[in-house]
Chain A
């Protein structure tokens, strides 16, 4: 298993993945520095970091995070789609199941790395703006880890789509079709909790209740994120088992 993971990493690390992973913190910096919520909120006794986190997490988790995970998934299948790569890879003594899992694990590690870089950008925004309030470490960690966990089902679906389609555009189109409605879903108390593509936002939204480990109740996390993950992961797993290459 570790050999496959290493092979996947070698294929990836020269394929212009670094600039794409840096997109996360760049977007974070852009939103954080362009938003001017402080002026509206002056006088309200609130930790300054929260103001930055509110505006940054909104755009980042609502649109950017779900969309960029699809790009990672397509990137990781790019070598295989070019000139018979699937045939070469699967002719090696590996099982299809292991290849699928290795690709999935590597994407999740990339998303994790991007989340950590985003955390750095939150910190940088605070430094640039000269916040003096204490850094709300616990809340930020909840938000970063929560956003990561929420991408589990999304990545599984995107990996499935990326294996299915040769072009980048087709899986991206699927991703867009599901991600854009979440702008609406988060405004609705009825649909929002059940819409998997709105989960990165819910899990990163720092206004949620802080009693649980994450910002959403366990039931919602297990049913929507967990259920979506199982559905999409098994769907992709079995699709790949049967796919003619």
Chain B
């Protein structure tokens, strides 16, 4: 059943711009650094001995913002597909459980998110090699800066999908997304327990892996809360 639901959901997001946005996110993040390094490469290379590390930090200054906003957009799109034509009713009337409908939507979004992270890694690596930042290439750090923010953002994905699928007025999840990006932008003043701080990989122990573990754990928890609430509600 799950496989068929996933196929159906992938069919539904065709030609809606979701694939395009998944591609645009990482391109945008790297393109901003292309402008940055294009304008003042010499100055930026002087800033640090570790050119690769500094480059990754620059890339990472935009990744959390792009992830938070991207999640808000994709989840709202996902819900709009059903909302616009009142398709929730028809979807739930099929011999599928509400739990699996929700899980399928979540899975599709998570796949898009990780595709985005993989693309970010590829684009970062290519532009880094193009800039000739020197040897050795820190592949492990590169993978960390690409996948850790996405994993740490899983609670945000669960929260946004929950709000988007239970609110008829999509203005609400979008506004929550805007709050999220403001929090992510000012994450250095946020306390460690705020989920919007986690994609920045900052915490008081300076251990990014804690954010990832918290992200996966709380992400699953928020997902369960969301799915229970979604299953209990009337389909409008």
User: A and B bound?
Assistant: yes
Listed in ascending order, the chain A residues whose CB lies under 8 Å from chain B are 15-16, 19-20, 23, 27, 30-31, 34-36, 59, 63-64, 67-68, 71, 74-75, 78, 81, 166-170, 172-173, 176-177, 180-181, 183-184, 188
Partner of B186, one of A19, A31, A81: A31
Interface centre among A36, A64, A81, A169 (most CB of B within 10 A): A169
Q: Is the CB of B178 within 8 A of A75?
A: no
B213: interface (CB < 8 Å): no
Q: Given known contacts A167-B84, A169-B174, A172-B72, what 6 new A-B pairs fall within 8 Å (CB)?
A: A166-B84, A167-B76, A168-B80, A169-B170, A173-B21, A180-B66
Query: How far is B66's CA from A173's CA once the two chains are assembled, in angstroms?
Result: 11
B97: interface (CB < 8 Å): no
What residues of B have a CB within 8 angstroms of the CB of A64 in the complex?
Answer: 178, 182
The stretch of B32-40, B44-52, B136-144, B221-229 in contact with A is B32-40
Q: Is the CB of B17 within 8 A of A173?
A: yes
What residues of A have a CB within 8 angstroms of the CB of B11 in the complex?
Answer: none
Query: How far is B84's CA from A31's CA once the two chains are assembled, in angstroms?
Result: 35
Listed in ascending order, the chain B residues whose CB lies under 8 Å from chain A are 17, 21, 24, 28, 32, 35-36, 39, 62, 65-66, 69, 72-74, 76-77, 80, 84, 169-172, 174-175, 177-179, 181-182, 185-186, 189-190
Q: Is the CB of A71 within 8 A of B182?
A: no
Please, which residue of chain A has its CB at the minimum distance from the CB of B32?
A: A184
What residues of B have a CB within 8 angstroms of the CB of A16 in the complex?
Answer: 169, 171-172
Q: Is the CB of B76 within 8 A of A78?
A: no
Interface of B is mostly: helix
Q: Is the CB of B35 within 8 A of A20?
A: no
Given contacts A34-B186, A167-B84, contact A176 B69 (CB under 8 A): yes
Q: Is the CB of A67 within 8 A of B186?
A: no
Q: Is the CB of B39 within 8 A of A188?
A: yes
Partner of B170, one of A63, A168, A181, A184: A168
Instruction: Give, as a whole number of angstroms, the nearest-CB distance from A80 to chain B.
Output: 13
Q: Is the CB of B69 within 8 A of A180?
A: yes
What residues of B have a CB within 8 angstroms of the CB of A23 in the complex?
Answer: 175, 178-179
Given contacts A63-B182, A169-B77, contact A75 B171 (CB under 8 A): yes
Instruction: Give, as a whole number of angstroms, the nearest-CB distance from B138 to chain A.
Output: 25
Partner of A180, one of B28, B39, B76, B178: B28
Query: How far is B142's CA from A96's CA once the two chains are assembled, in angstroms?
Result: 53
Query: How far is B72's CA from A184's CA once the two chains are assembled, in angstroms?
Result: 22
A-B pairs, 6 with minimum CB distance: A168-B170, A167-B80, A169-B76, A169-B77, A34-B189, A67-B178
Please, which residue of chain A has its CB at the minimum distance from the CB of B167?
A: A16
Query: How far is B78's CA from A170's CA once the two chains are assembled, in angstroms?
Result: 11
Instruction: Give, as a whole number of angstroms, the nearest-CB distance from A116 to chain B.
Output: 19
What residues of B have a CB within 8 angstroms of the CB of A183 in the complex?
Answer: 62, 65
Q: Is the CB of A180 within 8 A of B182?
A: no
Query: How far is B189's CA from A69's CA once the two chains are assembled, in angstroms?
Result: 26
What residues of B have a CB within 8 angstroms of the CB of A71 in the complex?
Answer: 171, 174-175, 178
Please, which residue of chain B has its CB at the minimum distance from the CB of A168?
A: B170
What residues of A have a CB within 8 angstroms of the CB of B69 in the complex?
Answer: 176, 180
What residues of B have a CB within 8 angstroms of the CB of A180 in the complex?
Answer: 28, 32, 62, 65-66, 69
What residues of B have a CB within 8 angstroms of the CB of A35 in the complex?
Answer: 186, 189
Instruction: Give, as a whole number of angstroms, the nearest-CB distance from B162 to chain A.
Output: 16
Q: Is the CB of A27 within 8 A of B174?
A: no
What residues of B have a CB within 8 angstroms of the CB of A19 in the complex?
Answer: 172, 175
What residues of A have a CB within 8 angstroms of the CB of B170 in the complex?
Answer: 74, 167-169
Query: How far is B68's CA from A63's CA once the two chains are assembled, in angstroms?
Result: 13
